[in-house]
């Protein structure tokens, strides 16, 4: 199954967008998950709802709001451009932003669940051995939440690869810049004689998703064994 | 070494504990729910009292009046929890050296010493999930010891172990007590454990301290019966092994007032042991009995006859400097004409005496 150069470009772009969307959103997701799992503050329910909004909103709506906020004349878009020199509107970075936001609730949910199942008595034990709050988090809480972090990362990665509505609304469908896998498949289906290419890319999408699920399963099992305190096998 | 004077009021449970603990092993003894764990949690800084003061080795770590509340990591208190609480994602070696990550570690020579002392050498590369209960507690004790503690807190460290593992881990705790000069606070509701290892006993009930004193005094008091029916009045006697009759599996123990023959004493000649003689295991005779199976016949004088209830009286018998207690029926006491100062013979079956009894 040979791929045309522009099809390879689509694949490469999609992986890059998904990779960066996950990498950048991970620290935020860990922080938000920790807050939701451990802290209690006024407005927590509302905060929880806002975090989960992308899961239930039509993706087009998310994309539209992103356009309003992060467009070149949007309030956040101007700040990003002036202070950091980053332009996201109609760039692949914008596709990564859209994908990251759409995958965010999935990532937060998985990590939060992991935080909630941790035996907090272990954290108290760590504090008697000299670990402060940060020390406890880095040596006990986060390592024990690893299965959830892995699950969250792969769910969000897979979600990013499949992101369509928010992306096309926010950054349009520019070949080589924002035309990710789902957008390319859509484009081919709208093109005369594009069916073969659409099929090839769809098969690739299926294989990528399967691979992501498989890798996630293997990693989670390994991490689960580890946090259960079992000896390494093999 | 340790000074505690704290109060904490919860809706249905009020804790008010005040005691001082010195060198050696101080036992917090009392039934479940007496507030023992709350006290050690307050010492460790895990639980915050409403009022009061806690000082460890002269340093005030909590004082509500002066607004002092040293956070747990800075208190330098080693804590061994009932369930061990080993970190499951770390190897035994990493668990043991965990405190080293936070400037609470000890030099490698000390690591080796503790590993040898607790017999952990073969476990170092294992993970906690596959250790037996006894092994887990040994690692937990080692981990606490290797955090440069000024004080070691052991909260019912044997509670989740079977009888065999209990005695094994208890031996290790005795080893630590003798080899490592760190004061120990030992929480337990088990009479045998407290009698065996405590120097000082703090007796707690319903959130307050009923008595503080030496193990012989507190555990020998007949009026203190906090246990769930398991604690019975009796005497606690400090003795020393003078003879081990291997053929008969009997040990002869010398104490201030004579010798005792006991079974099942796993100690070497010369070693100090503490035996507890339950009052119901002691009979009284006016003459030295002949042709009798009882191995321990101790001459003494009646020191006190308790008020008694339900047809039963407790009689205190002075034997040398020690005091035995005998629980007999009131009718027996009348028939013998027991009164203060009368010379009597206390009869104790050797089989009722064992180190763990």
pLDDT bin (cut points 50, 70, 90) of residue A105 is very high
Reported as a single tens digit per residue, the pLDDT across B117-130 is 999 999 999 999 98
Are B78 and B153 a contacting pair, CB within 8 Å? yes
Q: Which of A130, A144, A148 to mutate to test the interface with B (most CBs of B within 10 A)?
A: A130
Higher pLDDT, B232 or B136: B136
Handedness of CA B40, B43, B48, B53 (dihedral sign): positive
* CATH, range B2-221: 3.40.50.300
Chain center to CA of A25: 6
Q: For chain B, which residues make up each domain, given as ranges? A: 2-221, 235-352
Segments making up each domain of chain A, as ranges: 5-225
User: Average pLDDT in the A192-209 region?
Assistant: 91
User: B89 vs A125: CB contact, 8 Å cut-off?
Assistant: no
Q: Which phi and psi (to 5°) does residue B170 adopt?
A: -60, -40
Q: Tell me the angle at which helices A59-70 and A44-56 cross, rounded to the nearest 10 degrees.
A: 110
First to last CA, chain A: 37
Q: Model confidence over B36-73: pLDDT tens digits?
A: 999 999 999 999 999 999 999 989 999 999 999 999 99
In DSSP terms, B317 is beta-bridged to B302, B324
Of residues B73, B75, B128, nearest to A131 (C-beta): B73
Q: Give the pLDDT band of residue B226 (cuts 50, 70, 90).
A: very low
How does pLDDT run across B18-46, given as a tens digit for each residue? 999 888 899 999 888 888 999 999 999 99
DSSP annotation of B309 = B
Burial string for B268-294 (b: 16+ CB within 10 Å, else e) reads eeeeebbbbbbbbbbbbeeeeeeeeeb
Going by pLDDT thresholds of 50, 70 and 90, the confidence category of residue A89 is confident
Q: Which two tokens stand for residue A77?
A: 């878009």
Q: Where are the beta strands (DSSP E) in B144-285?
A: 151-155, 184-188, 200-205, 208-214, 234-245, 250-255, 258-263, 272-278, 282-285
Tell me how far apart the alpha carbons of residues B59 and B75 are, in angstroms, rounded to a whole number.
9
Q: For residue B212, with 0-12 CB atoms within 10 Å meaning exposed, 13-18 middle and 19 or more buried, which class applies?
A: middle
Minimal Cβ distance to A122: which of B87, B130, B147: B87
Average pLDDT for B138-163: 92
* Residue B9: DSSP 8-state: E
Distance CA A111, CA A146 (A): 8
A–B interface: beta-carbon pairs under 8 A: 84
Question: Given this model, what pLDDT does residue B156 score?
Answer: 92
- pLDDT tens figures, B172-220: 998 888 888 899 999 998 888 888 888 899 998 888 898 898 888 888 7
The pLDDT value recorded for residue A135 is: 95
Q: Please state, in angstroms and rounded to a whole number, the distance separating the CA atoms of residues B115 and B96.
A: 9
User: Pick the residue with more confidence: A25 or B278?
Assistant: A25
- Buried-exposed string A165-187: b where 16+ CB fall within 10 A, e elsewhere: bbbbbbbbeeeebbbbbbbbbbb
Cβ proximity of A173 and A94 under 8 Å? no
Judged by CB atoms closer than 8 Å, whether chains meet at B79 and A125 is answered as yes
Predicted local confidence at residue B92, as pLDDT: 95
Of residues A124 and B237, more confidence is placed in A124
At the topology level, CATH places domain B235-352 in: OB fold (Dihydrolipoamide Acetyltransferase, E2P) (2.40.50)
pLDDT band at A6 (very low <50, low <70, confident <90, very high): confident
Of B83, B104, B128, the CB nearest to A229: B128
Instruction: Give dist(CA B306, CA A198) in Å, integer.
Output: 98
Q: How far apart are CA B200 and CA B223, in angstroms?
A: 18
User: For residue B232, what pLDDT is reported?
Assistant: 66
Check residue B225 and give its pLDDT.
Answer: 53
Q: What is the CA radius of gyration of chain A?
A: 20
pLDDT for A234: 39
Tell me if A125 and B87 make a contact (CB, 8 A cut-off).
yes
> In chain B, which among 75-104 make CB contacts under 8 A with chain A?
75, 77-79, 81, 83, 85-89, 98-99, 101-104
Task: Verify whether the Cβ–Cβ distance A140 to B86 is below 8 Å.
Answer: no
Q: pTM for this one?
A: 0.81
- Greatest alpha-carbon pair distance for chain A in Å reads 69
At residue B206, the pLDDT reads 85
A230: closest chain B residue by CA: B129
User: Average pLDDT, stretch A33-38?
Assistant: 95
Highest mean pLDDT among A5-9, B96-100, B242-246: B96-100
Q: Which residues of A touch B (CB under 8 A)?
A: 119, 121-122, 124-132, 135, 139-140, 143-144, 146, 226-232
CB contact under 8 A, B147 and A130: yes
Pick the residue of B42, B86, B94, B102 with the most A CBs within 10 A to test the interface with A by mutation: B102
- A5-225: CATH topology is MetI-like fold (1.10.3720)
Q: How far is CA B163 from CA A86, B174, B223, in A?
A: 68, 17, 28
Give residue-wise pLDDT tens across range A66-75: 999 998 888 8
């Amino acid at each position: 199954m040979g791929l045309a150069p522009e099809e390879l470009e689509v694949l490469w772009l999609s992986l890059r967008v998904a990779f960066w969307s996950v990498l950048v959103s991970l620290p935020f997701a860990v922080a938000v998950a920790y807050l939701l799992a451990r802290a209690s503050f006024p407005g927590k329910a509302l905060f929880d709802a806002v975090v989960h909004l992308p899961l239930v909103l039509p993706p087009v709506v998310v994309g539209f709001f992103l356009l309003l906020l992060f467009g070149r004349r949007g309030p956040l878009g101007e700040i990003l451009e002036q202070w950091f020199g980053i332009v996201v509107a109609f760039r692949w970075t914008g596709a990564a932003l859209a994908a990251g936001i759409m995958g965010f609730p999935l990532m937060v949910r998985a990590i939060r669940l992991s935080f909630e199942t941790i035996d907090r008595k272990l954290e108290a034990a760590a504090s008697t051995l000299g670990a402060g709050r940060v020390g406890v988090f880095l040596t006990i809480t986060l390592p024990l939440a690893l299965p959830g972090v892995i699950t969250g990362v792969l769910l969000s990665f897979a979600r990013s690869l499949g992101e369509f509505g928010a992306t096309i609304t926010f950054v349009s469908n520019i070949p080589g810049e924002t035309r990710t896998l789902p957008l390319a498949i859509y484009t081919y289906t709208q093109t005369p004689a594009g069916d073969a290419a659409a099929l090839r890319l769809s098969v690739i999408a299926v294989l990528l998703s399967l691979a992501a699920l498989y890798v996630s399963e293997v990693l989670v099992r390994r991490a689960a064994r580890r946090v259960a305190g079992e000896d390494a096998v093999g | 070494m340790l000074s505690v004077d704290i109060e904490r009021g919860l809706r249905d449970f009020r804790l008010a504990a005040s005691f001082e603990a010195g060198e050696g092993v101080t036992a917090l003894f009392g039934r479940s729910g007496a507030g023992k764990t709350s006290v050690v949690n307050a010492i460790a800084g895990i639980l915050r009292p409403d009022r009061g003061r806690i000082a460890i080795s002269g340093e005030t770590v909590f004082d509500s009046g002066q607004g002092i509340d040293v956070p747990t990591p800075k208190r330098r208190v080693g804590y061994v929890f009932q369930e061990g609480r080993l970190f499951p994602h770390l190897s035994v070696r990493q668990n043991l050296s965990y405190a080293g990550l936070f400037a609470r570690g000890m030099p490698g020579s000390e690591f080796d010493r503790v590993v040898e002392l607790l017999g952990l050498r073969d476990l170092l590369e294992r993970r906690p999930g596959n250790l037996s209960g006894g092994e887990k507690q040994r690692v937990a004790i080692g981990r606490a010891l290797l955090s440069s503690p000024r004080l070691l807190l052991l909260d019912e460290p044997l509670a989740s172990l079977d009888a065999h593992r209990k005695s094994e881990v208890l031996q290790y705790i005795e080893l630590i007590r003798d080899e490592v000069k760190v004061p120990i606070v030992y929480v337990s509701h088990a009479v045998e454990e407290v009698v065996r290892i405590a120097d000082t006993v703090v007796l707690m009930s319903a959130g307050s301290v009923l008595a503080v004193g030496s193990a012989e005094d507190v555990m020998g008091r007949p009026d203190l019966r906090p246990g769930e029916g398991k604690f019975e009045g009796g005497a606690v006697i400090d003795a020393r092994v003078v003879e081990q009759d291997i053929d008969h599996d009997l040990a002869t123990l010398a104490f201030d007032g004579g010798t005792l023959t006991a079974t099942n004493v796993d100690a070497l000649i010369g070693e100090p042991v503490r035996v507890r003689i339950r009052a119901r295991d002691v009979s009284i005779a006016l003459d030295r009995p002949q042709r009798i199976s009882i191995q321990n016949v101790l001459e003494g004088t009646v020191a006190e006859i308790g008020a008694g209830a339900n047809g039963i009286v407790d009689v205190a018998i002075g034997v040398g400097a020690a005091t035995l207690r005998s629980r007999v029926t009131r009718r027996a006491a009348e028939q013998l004409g027991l009164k203060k100062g009368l010379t009597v013979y206390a009869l104790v079956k050797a089989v009722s005496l064992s180190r763990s009894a």
